Amino acid sequence: MSALLEVKDIKKHFPIKNDAVFSREKRVLKAVDGISFSVKKGETLGLVGESGCGKSTAGRVMLKLLEPTSGEIYFKGENITNFRGEKLRKLRREMQLIFQDPYASLNPRKSIEKIISEPMKIFNIPREEREKRLDYLLEVVGLSAYHKQRYPHEFSGGQRQRIGIARSLALDPELVICDEPVSALDVSIQAQVINLMEDLQAEFDLTYVFIAHDLSVVHHISDRVAVMYLGELVEIGDAQEVYRDPKHPYTQALLSAVPQVNPNEEKQRIILKGDLPSPQNPPSGCKFHTRCPFAEEICRTSKPSLRKASENGVMAACHFVKEVVEA
């Protein structure tokens, strides 16, 4: 499988207004601070971390909804970092976003027909083709043509997310960035929507980047998982392996908080000290050292880079993860 999407050392820093009137110091919020990974065609990469770790910003940078401060983005082998105008418009057909909040992302004044057909209209798809596609999309997301003239407020949360998913598929994209698509839904509905997304992936040959703070949600759908902390990747690799044997202390702590399916299996909960530090003023060395139960002096001064931590290619950024050296 070749890489459909590749990001190389992407950074997204936001300038912050300086309160001190005469200060010349430029302050920045480092939302994404140098992440690199690729996503293969047909694969699902789960991108996880606490709120404020930069995962949603990273998703918007990948989609070119936000300009990166530095770094490069490749889509189907082509460098799209500096795409503008018509080139970017064409690219929008192939890369879509599913939003977290199905309540806020659907225009309450528009009918379902208008909401789903709008992207097709923008791309001048003929009316007859639009109508056919609309009926087909409603059917595949579990709604029906009968719902076309209704408005968003007439639907439940799960149905609204189905409408959001149908809209994201209107232009037959290859890549869909799913930004916490089930976190606003009841737990009972989450599994239904995730199962639907898996079915749609097979039907439409989709590639997903699935952003979530809940590791149990990502586990179900991901082929690989990437864990972010304060704008950086701390672990990435095969989802089953990361869940079975997490290498980075932060991943271990996140996984220890996931409820066990088997109540007889004992698992010790790792409670992290303090809150997530501010990305305006991140800790020196390993950014996780202020909360890590295993931190030592070196962690305060020296930043660990991602290293190969398993035969199967899991990478982790920790000074105390044993590096697997190629034979």
Least Å distance between CB 51 and ligand SF4? Answer: 20
CB of 217 to ligand SF4, least distance (A): 24
Q: Of residues 218-277, which lie at the interface with ligand SF4 (CB under 6 A)?
A: 249
Query: Amino acid identity, residue 215?
Result: L
Site for ligand SF4 (CB under 6 A): which residue of 73, 292, 309, 315?
292
Could you tell me which stretch among 181-189, 204-212, 264-272, 294-302 binds ligand SF4 (CB under 6 A)? 294-302
In the complex, the smallest distance separating the C-beta of residue 319 from ligand SF4, rounded to whole angstroms, is 4
Residue 261 class from Cβ within 10 Å (0-12 exposed, 13-18 middle, 19+ buried)?
A: exposed
Applying CB under 6 A, among 189, 257, 319, 324 the residue interacting with ligand SF4 is: 319
Q: DSSP assignment of 141-181, as one string?
A: TT--GGGTT--GGGS-HHHHHHHHHHHHTTT--SEEEEEST
Chosen residue from 159, 304, 309, 315 binding ligand SF4 by CB under 6 A = 304
CA distance 100 to 181: 4
Among 33, 112, 289, 306, binds ligand SF4 (CB under 6 A): 289
**Burial class of 180 by CB neighbour count within 10 A (0 to 12, 13 to 18, 19+):** buried
Question: Which of 227, 295, 314, 315 forms a contact with ligand SF4 (CB under 6 A)?
Answer: 295
Pick the closest to residue 227 from 37, 13, 10, 68 (CA basis).
37
| Distance in angstroms (rounded) separating the CA atoms of residues 93 and 254 | 35
User: Contacting ligand SF4 (CB under 6 A), which of 70, 87, 136, 294?
Assistant: 294
What is the Cα–Cα distance from 178 to 324, expressed in whole angstroms?
33
Please state the closest distance from residue 128 (CB atom) to ligand SF4, in A. 57
Query: Applying CB under 6 A, which residues contact ligand SF4?
Result: 249, 286, 288-289, 292, 294-295, 299, 304, 318-320
